Structure 1
Amino acid sequence: MPAEASSASSSSPPLTERQEARRRRILHASAQLASRGGFDAVQMREVAESSQVALGTLYRYFPSKVHLLVATMQAQLEHMHGTLRKKPPQGDTAAQRVAETLMRAFRALQREPHLADAMVRALTFADRSVSPEVDQVSRQTTVIILDAMGLENPTAQQLSAVRVIEHTWHSALITWLSGRASIAQVKIDIETVCRLIDLTTAEARTE
């Protein structure tokens, strides 16, 4: 994969300022198209036209629509993280803060259901070739959760709890998008799984 591609390995050189600006335009165009019509509305030729890049250039950055939409989700989570940092969660415990954070992120996606559906479908369709983009989504979600917990050096047990919380949040998003869960049920599930944080924190204190 070319060095410019978003899925480049960590050993690849960083993007130049011009390349980064081009990548941002592509991701913005992807999000705009997905917001209007969901997964099927994101056509690579239209993304190229909207972002004012050549189609071949677009494919060098993102080899497929799935690569593009998973990268779009990472960008959306990064934007959410910035918003959350400006107004941190106010819960008394780490579990409460993480639950509040994830519900705020969930409601942000709820405001753009077509975009949310497109990104989640892309994650579901992702095969091994999309692993770098999927890993970026997971890392961004982990950073959001750890920030809410207020942890810089989590234990192995705490990281395990974070992974379970990520899986639950993703599953809750899928069930809500498919109409199989209400917002109230999502909130209950998120609050329930976040209690793992307090359990692992208590265990870390006794070690």
Structure 2
Amino acid sequence: MSDFLFARSQMAMSLAFHIVFAALGIGMPLLMAIAEWMYLRTNRPVYLDLCKRWAKGTAILFAVGAVSGTVLSFELGLLWPGFMEHAGAIIGMPFSLEGFAFFTEAIFLGVYLYGWKRVSPLIHWLSGVVVAISGILSGIFVVTANAWMNAPAGFKIVDGKFADIDPIAAMLNPAAFHEVVHMTLAAFVATGFMVAAVHAFFLLHDRSNPFHRAALG
């Protein structure tokens, strides 16, 4: 196997693993926040149980996704140094912004997980909303970088070198909008079907279980 094919294979395996946790990491925080909002509205304990259970799942998915995403960031530099040498200055901004979104998500996820009875119910719920928004933004920023690879923009080539680099134009490339919409909606749909499938499976074995019934709406 050539170095080129090996690099592509390794990157493909890493991406295939990471995308599962990335998609769930976008969708689960929203479900978690919705469950707590339902609890605050109805004061039904089943929604609180659902929220706490989903919060634990979100934390695990976030941790695994963070590690696998870090591996991918190293692979970009180690496996594709030539590409990053030239493209890094162009698509570096969305990766930097993704870093800010990631750390925001991590901070507020900590508040959410350990803030029960330590902050007010409204602040606790809002921290969950921030987690959900940060997760969505992380996905958006990374997808804009991927979209740039499909529709390069924001630079000129002068004498064989990149010049007049505009990171904003690179982020807002022609492929960015529909790829962002596609990925975000796909993450929500995939997460929704997976969560529904799990709760439906257990509901088949206990049709009167209020926990799984609440999860399915």
Which TM-score applies when normalising by structure 2?
0.28
**Which structure has greater helix proportion?**
2
